[in-house]
Structures are given as structure tokens and as C-alpha cells.
Structure 1
């Protein structure tokens, strides 16, 4: 079943969620989109000079999301154009222990827009200080 975007979302996409399933919390089960596609490689929680300003898990997530928004701007895209995020985290327990704070950071940076998402715990990331890496896909309306 296709659900239109929520009124609080200015998304040009349709979200997919079978009506007999429990509501998805914090992500869309699927997204249908048409337009110009923008693919972002994995971004981590360092600044534009490739320097870490913190080793705090939540602060690295915030910086990572801000980095994604900055790169999206280069394509004249906004967070509401995101259709998919793939998160790689180094510590599932740290993520779960900070869900509320992560949710606040997410909404502050990306708004109340929840594309299709996946999260994977990994042993390590290429940058030793990185605690999160996020790949993103956006679709700009035609």
C-alpha cells in the first residue's frame, strides 16, 4: 500500500507500508521516487577538513548528518529528498543506550523525514576514530 507523505514532510516521494503491518518506527519500509538521483558515499563524523572534533557517539552522528546535508546542497537537494540511508555503527549497545538523544539530533538536522533505512554493526571503520558511517541516496523531483 502506498502512503502519501505526512503533511509535516515536504517529500516528493511515496512511502510504502503494508496496511496490515505494525507502524514502522523511525524509518520507512519502502520509498517510491522519480527524478534525478543523488548518491552519497559513506560519510563519517569529522568536519570538512577531515578532522574529528569529538569521540562522542551522538556528536559524531550529528556531524555525519550535517555532512550529508552539506553534500546534498551541492546538488540543490534537501533532507526531504533523501530516500535511503544505510548506517554502519561500531557499537550497537552505544546506539541503543542513546536512542532519545540520537532521535533529537536526527530531527534537528534532517527534520521529521524518515527514508528507508538500514543499520549494520561493524567491527571497525577505516578511520579509527569513526564510530558511525552513513551512505545516503536522494531523489530530486523532475
Structure 2
């Protein structure tokens, strides 16, 4: 197993030799510390207002994750895994540039292991995205 250190000593990004470098995610991460599991966050503000539009909902979901991390004395770079559920992959791929900007604004340049899944619908009918996160706090 060939691995490279990623910004912090508490986790390592694992990248097999010869694999192409991923962009915007990691294939695997090894981590040690306290586990924080964050349930799916949607584009709704703490006041219960659903944001309009895909990128804006993603930004709010990431901000919700950021608030939960802070409440647990964790940082965005402690996130080791994210699963994104979207109702339309075509919308996701059409918005990669602004979505990347929003992601970096909230999460920085830390890219955990990620999965993206298209679903028929989310529990909240107006939700276009739901993001789960797992963090390991040193």
C-alpha cells in the first residue's frame, strides 16, 4: 500500500501506485481518533428555510456539516468520508465549476473519500441534494 500524507498527521490519503490522481476526492483515507457520523444534510437553513437552486442547496448542506463539525470541536479537514445523494446527476455535472468553488469556500482544499449517488427523490420534496459525512477527530 502506497500512501501519501495529507495535511495532517492524524490521517493518510491512500493512493495505490500507478492509479491516476483523483480530482476533488480521495479514493481512501486511513485515520485514527474519535468518530463523528453526520446524518444527511440538505439545503435547509437552521431556521427551516429551503434554499433555491442546486448549488445554493449544496452550499447550505455543507454549511450545516460545518456547523455540526464545529459543535463537535472538529474541523473540515477531519472529514474522511462524504456521500452525496442528488436527484439529478446531469445537474450536478453541469454545475461542477460553481460547485467546486462553493465546496472550497466551506470545506477548503481537503478532499475526503467520496461517493455520489443519484436517487429518485429525497425525503424533503424540495431537496435536490443530501450530504452525509464521517469525520475522525484527533
Class of the TM-score when normalised by the shorter of the 2 chains: over 0.9
Where in structure 2 are there 5+ consecutive unaligned residues?
none
1:107 correspondence with 2:104: yes
User: TM-score under structure 1 normalisation?
Assistant: 0.93
Q: 1:129-140 counterparts in 2 under 5 A?
A: 129-140=126-137
1:32 correspondence with 2:33: no
Q: Where in structure 1 do 4 or more consecutive aligned residues deviate above 4 Å?
A: none
Partner of 1:4: 5
- Equivalent-residue separation in structure 1 for 2:128 and 2:113 (angstroms): 21
**How far apart are residue 55 of structure 1 and its match?**
2.2
How many residues are treated as equivalent by the alignment? 137
Where in structure 1 are there 5+ consecutive unaligned residues?
none
User: TM-score under structure 2 normalisation?
Assistant: 0.96
- Equivalent-residue separation in structure 2 for 1:11 and 1:132 (angstroms): 32
* SS of corresponding position for 1:15: strand
Contact 2:5 2:13 in 1 (8 A): yes
Partner of 1:123: 120
- Given the alignment, which residue of 39, 42, 48 partners 1:41? 39
> RMSD value over aligned CA atoms?
1.0
- Where is the strand percentage greater, Structure 1 or Structure 2? 2
Per-residue CA distance 1:62-83 (angstroms, 9 max, x = gap): 0000000001111100100000
